[in-house]
Structure 1
Amino acid sequence: MLNWMSALRTSPLGLAVGLSAAAAYFLLQPGRTRNATRPRGDSKAPRTWMLETGAAVLQRRPPLRGFDTYLAGFHPMKEDPEHQWIAHHWCKVVNEDFIQCLLFDGNTADANLVGVEYIISERLFRQLPEEERGYWHPHNGEILSGQLAAPGLPQAAEKMLMKRQINSYGKTWHLWDTGVDGRAGDDLPFGAPRLAWSFNHDGELQPWLQELRDRELRLRTEERRAARKDLVAFAHPQEGTDALKGRFERPTREIPGAQEKRAQLTGRH
């Protein structure tokens, strides 16, 4: 799914795109974005630095291997959708139906770990118990709007990656509010985990947040949206698309291809 190199190998243009992907790795690195929040506590002592250096040389890190696909998107909290964050994902493909991601508040070495996300295919979502499905947000709105990006990848590779994610679902827990763009955050992860959701209508995402993300990572969301128009043909109606509908004071509009499954079955949208 998110293993874009595997996708390239199955493409008729695999070699050419693969070469451009290799070039992009060196030439199209994403911008750097960091959060101002620093965790409470004393600075590292010399003995801590020594222990870390020794661990890096002597200890293996098998569970962390494979968390190398970088995605940048946005998350609103389901119970408080005006509470919104830029979400930096580092993801590991477990198999063709299941992915797990670590969420950070930036993409630099000092970024804070703020949450986790699990991603499943449409096939696995259909197997979930009814009461479980309310925790899983749909991804079509994020993809087709251009909000979800893979910074640093060439356009052809990124689009192939996004096509493989159409109709998938995510379950996301945010554990730490570290703030965004100058808004003061907590210096420790306080409170209960908060269930995050996805944006499935234009106007739900606060415009300034998209502008901030695009400026920091040198992205053009609208260009990505235009390039993905043909992916609408592969999109199925998804449960949870209308979960935040009516929760915003500003007007919202439908995203072509992001349709509520239950509404579609009853003939209403």
Structure 2
Amino acid sequence: MASTFHSVSLMTLVSAGLLAACNPKTEAPQHPSGKEKTTKTEMLESGAAILQTDSPLQPMNIYLDGFHADKNNPAHQMEAHHFCRQVNEDFAQCVLFDGNTRQANLIGIEYIISETLFESLPEQEKQYWHPHNYEILSGLLIAPGIPGIAEKELMKGKMNSYGKTWHVWNSAPFGKAGDKIPLGEATLEWSFNQDDEALPGLVEKRDQHMKVSANEKRNERADLKALAKPQAGVDALKGKFPGPTRPLPGVEDKKATNPK
């Protein structure tokens, strides 16, 4: 990628970290079944926090908020809070939660790769990776709490990238009751790639709570369309959402632009 999370200056990230502490809190919608922690368990946790260091979770400090749809059932949608680490210029890994507080539940994982790495994958593997350009250009994907200039630079670095996302806990499906504990098989999640694929109220609820506007971010990122290339998977779920949808200029399916 020409630009990644690393392109944001150190001082900007420090400032972002301070601002992130002021983000509106999204509490976990589920309190897992089970007994309350004992004093002994809490003491063991406190000791571990002091003595056990160098956790692989510590570098996962880039916070993104977006939406996923079940690839096999696109009407099943939810908000996902991503905490990510940029491993190198072409690869990032994220843990997904149903909230952004310490009580949030771990619901899945997402790997993010550059266009270069995606093109190196076997054709059979590519079916698992969803495109990101619509999420960025539409304003649906946000980095809460960081200055606008830093957020836009971050999003610029993710243009033409792809994500592979598995959810393992159906804790907070929009408009439906979630499960108290992880049940069943993992589900492969997909991205939105046209307007009106998101269920009515899904984005609006997030925007109101987080005090952001996806439409404003769409306007602010309009110039990023010049960087957008046709991507695989844009039309993978076309026609499978509950209602009519509308294309967003700049978001095109690779097959549609290179028919065989």
TM superposition score category, shorter chain reference:
over 0.9
Whether contact under 8 Å (2:74, 2:240) holds in the other structure is yes
Determine the structure 1 residue equivalent to 2:40. 47
Separation in structure 2 between the aligned mates of residue 163 and residue 131 of structure 1, nearest angstrom: 28
Paired residues of 2:132 and 2:191 also in contact (CA < 8 A): yes
- Distance, in Å, in 2 between the alignment partners of 1:144 and 1:29 is 25
Q: Do the aligned partners of residues 81 and 224 (structure 1) sit closer, same or farther apart at CA in structure 2, a change above 3 Å counting?
A: same
2-structure distance, mates of 1:249, 1:92: 34
Greater shift, 244-253 or 144-153, is seen at: 244-253
Matched, 1:160 2:153: yes
Q: What do the CA deviations read for 1:136-168 (whole angstroms, capped 9, x no partner)?
A: 000001000000000001111000000000000
Give, in angstroms, the shift of residue 61 of structure 1: 3.4
> Is contact 2:98–2:104 with CA below 8 Å preserved after alignment?
yes
One of 157, 166, 170 as aligned partner of 1:173 = 166
Structure 1 distance, partners of 2:175, 2:28, is 9
1:74 aligns with 67
Q: Distance in 2 between matches of 1:173 and 1:221?
A: 24
Q: CA deviation at 1:22?
A: 1.9
Q: 2:28 aligns with which of 35, 45, 55?
A: 35
Aligned position for 1:198 = 191
Q: Assess if the C-alpha contact under 8 Å between 2:137 and 2:225 holds in 1.
A: yes
Secondary structure of the 1:64 match is coil
Task: Assess, with a 3 A threshold, how the Cα gap between structure 1 residues 65 and 265 changes in structure 2: closer, same or farther.
Answer: same
Q: CA RMSD in A?
A: 2.0
Letter of the 1:227 counterpart: E
Report the count of equivalent residues.
259
Question: Partners of 1:81 and 1:110 in 2: how far apart?
Answer: 28
Matches of 2:257 and 2:16, distance apart in 1: 43
Asked whether the equivalents of residues 36 and 182 of structure 1 are also in contact (C-alpha less than 8 Å), the reply is no
Match of 1:107 in 2: 100
What amino acid is aligned across from residue 41 of structure 1 in structure 2? G
Residue 205 of structure 2 aligns with an amino acid whose one-letter code is: L
Residues 171-195 of structure 1: per-residue CA shift (max 9 Å, x gap): 0000001124673211110001000
Native 8 Å contact 2:16 2:145 kept in 1: no
Matched residues in 1 for 2:174 and 2:22: separation? 22
Mapped contact 2:166–2:188 kept (Cα < 8 A): yes
Match of 1:265 in 2: 258
Unaligned runs of 5+ in 2: none
Q: Give the conservation status (yes or no) of the 8 Å contact 1:28–1:153.
A: no
Query: Do the aligned residues in 2 keep the contact of 1:30 with 1:218 (CA within 8 Å)?
Result: no
Match of 2:200 in 1: 207
Residue identity matched to 1:47: K
Partner of 2:126: 133
- Tell me the TM-score normalized by structure 1: 0.91
Matching residue within 226, 238, 253 for 2:246: 253
Gap change, CA 1:27 and 1:66, over 3 Å in 2: closer
Structure 1: runs of 5 or more not aligned: none
- What do the CA deviations read for 1:18-72 (whole angstroms, capped 9, x no partner)? 39x7278348832111132111110000100010011011111331121000000
The code of the aligned residue for 1:168 comes to S
SS of equivalent to 1:81: strand
CA contact (8 A) 1:24 1:154 kept: no
Contact 1:91–1:101 (CA<8 Å) still a contact in 2?
yes
Whether the aligned pair in 1 keeps the contact of 2:78 and 2:174 (CA below 8 Å) is: no
Q: Secondary structure at the match of 1:108?
A: coil
Tell me if structure 1 keeps the 8 A contact 2:112–2:162. yes
> CA 1:23/1:160 → structure 2, altered by over 3 Å: closer, same or farther?
closer
